[in-house]
Amino acid sequence: MSEDATMQDYGARLERVFKWLRDHLDENVDLTRLAGVACLSRYHFHRVYHAMRGETVTETVRRLRLHRAAVELIAGELPVSRIARRAGYTSQEAFTRAFKAAYAVPPARYRASFVPVPTTHNEEDAMEATITYHAAIREMPAIRVAALAHRGDYMQIGATFEQLGAIAASMNLFGPSTRSFGIYYDDPSATPKEALRSEACLTVPDGWSPTGPLELREIRGGRYAVTLHVGPYAELERAYKWLYGTWLVQSGEEPADAPIVEEYLNDVRSVPPTELKTEIWLPLR
Average pLDDT over residues 35-53: 87
**pLDDT band for position 123 (cuts 50, 70, 90):** very low
Q: Are 241 and 128 in contact (CB under 8 A)?
A: no
Q: The dihedral of CA 137, 138, 139, 143: what is its sign? A: negative
Q: Of 168-172, 186-190, 267-271, where does mean pLDDT reach its minimum?
A: 168-172
Task: Of 160, 175, 154, give the one whose Cα is nearest residue 280.
Answer: 154
Task: Of 189, 277, 281, 282, give the one whose Cα is nearest residue 235.
Answer: 277
> For position 162, what pLDDT does the model report?
86
pLDDT tops 60 at residue 120? no
Please state which CATH number belongs to domain 3-112: 1.10.10.60
Give the pairing of strands 143-151 and 215-219: antiparallel
Average pLDDT over residues 1-6: 66
Q: Are 182 and 157 in contact (CB under 8 A)?
A: yes
Q: Of 99-108, 121-130, 224-233, where does mean pLDDT reach its minimum?
A: 121-130
Supply the mean pLDDT for the chain.
88
Give pLDDT tens digits for 64-81.
899 999 999 998 889 999
> For position 116, what pLDDT does the model report?
57
Could you state, in order of their start, the residue ranges of all structural domains in the chain? Answer: 3-112, 135-283
> For position 126, what pLDDT does the model report?
42
Q: What is the DSSP string of 119-154?
A: -SS-PPPHHHHT----EEEEEE--EEEEEEEEES-G
* CATH superfamily label, 135-283: Regulatory factor, effector binding domain (3.20.80.10)
Average pLDDT over residues 96-107: 92
**pLDDT band for position 19 (cuts 50, 70, 90):** confident
CA angle, 229 as apex, 163 and 197 as ends, to 5°? 40
Give pLDDT tens digits for 209-256.
998 889 999 999 999 999 999 999 989 999 999 999 999 989 999 999
**pLDDT band for position 22 (cuts 50, 70, 90):** confident
